[in-house]
């Protein structure tokens, strides 16, 4: 597939691994820095902020759009996951991307594919309990994308805190020659973290989903006031998250920013993590709380 040059409204597009790899290497041969933003599409302002961050720091910015089947369990929403490619290309153009890479499933996972990458420990807790094969799919596809798009810096959002922690660990463990840049969560004006899954919420569900943000704000407020009994605070967070019967809590906890281990006493930084189901939609959010 040759590069579709795009337009004033749509970013250039390719589905060819060889073409995107050569575009990256050609830029690097000229001493240019390449930024990479891996996505599953259905782009919103959070994704746009990652692309804009790459644009500020890099000479060439590549965005991938690939709905990765290996990170969906059989009962999850792979088939109905939104795929608005034209709108996504428009977001990419407006945010400053130079090239959009949209590989085919058969190119990412050729016939007979049996090789997977797993980050032990970090992948089996928190989200890994509810979605036991999810992170294996994430790390496998991200490593493959790093091989196809051998950029200098890759950009991920803080909103998926456990995911970016696992990816940073994979990069360190495997000595991958790429820098991981983690960018702040982008929120709606009322605090709801932007997510491609928010489109599944009706107006009533959208309102009750603010329980996640309120729970994070409770954690931030109490730690700022001097609360240091984290087991007791954890119980209050769980009660806050589950205060509306329309919200089905999974976890509300306080963890170490690197190991994700639950904390009994705080260190210099604490991460509050929450997850809940609203209707059929699973939502996650977090807050990094600096106590220094």
> Which stretches of the chain are DSSP H helices?
17-29, 45-57, 85-95, 105-108, 127-130, 134-148, 161-173, 203-208, 211-224, 230-241
Maximum alpha-carbon separation in the chain = 59
Active site residues: 47
Please calculate the CA angle 144-261-212 and round it to the nearest 5 degrees: 85
| 6 CB neighbour count, 10 Å cutoff | 18
Cα torsion for 283, 41, 115, 139, to the nearest 10°? Answer: -50
| 260 CB neighbour count, 10 Å cutoff | 20
Structure tokens at 134: 């999810």
Q: In what order do the strands lie in the sheet with 269-278?
A: 247-255, 269-278, 281-290
3-state secondary structure of 194: coil
* Bridge partners (DSSP) listed for residue 272: 254, 287
């Amino acid at each position: 597939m040759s590069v579709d040059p795009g337009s004033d409204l749509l970013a250039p597009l390719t589905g060819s691994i060889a073409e995107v790899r050569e575009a990256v290497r050609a830029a690097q041969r000229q001493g240019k820095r390449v930024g990479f933003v891996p996505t599953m599409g259905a782009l919103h302002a959070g994704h746009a902020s990652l692309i804009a961050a790459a644009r500020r720091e890099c000479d060439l910015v590549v965005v991938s759009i690939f709905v990765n089947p290996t990170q969906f369990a059989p009962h999850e929403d792979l088939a109905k996951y939104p795929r608005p490619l034209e709108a996504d290309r428009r977001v990419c153009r407006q945010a400053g991307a130079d090239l959009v890479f949209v590989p085919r499933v058969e190119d990412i996972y050729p016939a007979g594919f049996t090789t997977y990458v797993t980050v032990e420990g970090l992948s089996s807790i928190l989200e890994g309990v509810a979605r036991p094969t999810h992170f294996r799919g994430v790390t496998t596809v991200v490593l493959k994308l790093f091989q196809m798009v051998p950029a200098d810096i890759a950009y991920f959002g803080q909103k998926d805190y456990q995911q970016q922690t696992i990816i940073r660990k994979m990069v360190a463990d495997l000595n991958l020659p790429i820098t991981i840049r983690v960018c702040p969560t982008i929120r709606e004006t009322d605090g709801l973290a932007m997510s491609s899954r928010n489109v599944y919420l009706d107006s009533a569900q959208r309102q009750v989903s603010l329980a996640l943000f309120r729970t994070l704000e409770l954690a931030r407020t109490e730690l700022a006031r001097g609360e240091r009994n984290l087991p007791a605070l954890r119980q209050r967070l769980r009660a806050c998250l589950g205060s509306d019967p329309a919200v089905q809590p999974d976890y509300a906890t306080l963890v170490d920013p690197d190991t994700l281990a639950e904390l009994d006493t705080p260190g210099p930084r604490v991460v509050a993590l929450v997850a809940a189901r609203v209707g059929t939609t699973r939502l996650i959010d977090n807050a990094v709380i600096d106590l220094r």
